[in-house]
Amino acid sequence: MSSREDWDTDAESEADGAARNPYAAWEWGTQLRASGDIAGAAKTHKLAAEAFEDIGDKTRSVISQYDEGIDLAALGKNKEANEVISNAIKSMKQIEGGDVELLQRVVAKEGEARIALASALWDSGSKQEAESSLGTACVRLDVLEADAEKRAASKKAVTVPDHLQFSIDDQAGAGLSCSRFKNEKFLTETLEWPEALQKKVNKLNSLGK
């Protein structure tokens, strides 16, 4: 992630590094989130999304966009999070390819982002919008799970990692469901959500009680 010129600013260094290695940029953003630097995570995931887009990797660009949206939701920047997630959803229509596992991870990440946004919206009092976002997420995740079960029945099972390995290609795909967002261990160890966002989703799961 180092710069090409000694006089580059830190921001220029990060942008330069992301352009040369968007995978490392996504990993750095995820590490920043895990360490508590949510604002830094959002900025870096945005860089990763742009870098993946520049090399023609639409799928991983969309995943990175969703992660930026999750970071913004954790920060309570609901308007910005909604905009980023909405743009990512629109971009999904342009995704093509035969990599089933990768496409499943995109859908799973979409569900995660929608639930993160729902949690932030509920926390801010926008309950109707929160319920809409949550409902759509659960429907999408149910469809994903049904498709995975169908593939498993035809002996095309997909392996789901138990723990995020800090690689954009080692994230949960098939097997993600709304009910798993009620599991503290899953939120902490698998998704590595920051504590602030975990508190919001817990409030949503308890309907604000």
What's the CATH number where 185 sits?
A: 1.25.40
Residue 166 has pLDDT above 60, yes or no: no
Q: Is residue 65 part of a domain?
A: yes
List, as one string, the DSSP characters of 175-207: B--GGGGG-HHIIIIIS---HHHHHHHHHHHTT
* 1 belongs to a structural domain: no
Residue 26 has pLDDT above 50, yes or no: yes
Overall number of domains in the chain: 1
Question: Would you say residue 3 lies in a domain?
Answer: no
Is pLDDT above 50 for 163? no
Q: Is the pLDDT of residue 151 over 90?
A: no
- Would you state the pLDDT for residue 162? 47
pTM (two decimals): 0.83
Burial class of residue 203, CB neighbours in 10 A (0-12, 13-18, 19+): middle
Average pLDDT over residues 22-38: 92
Q: Which domain holds residue 39?
A: 10-205
- Amino acid at residue number 129: E
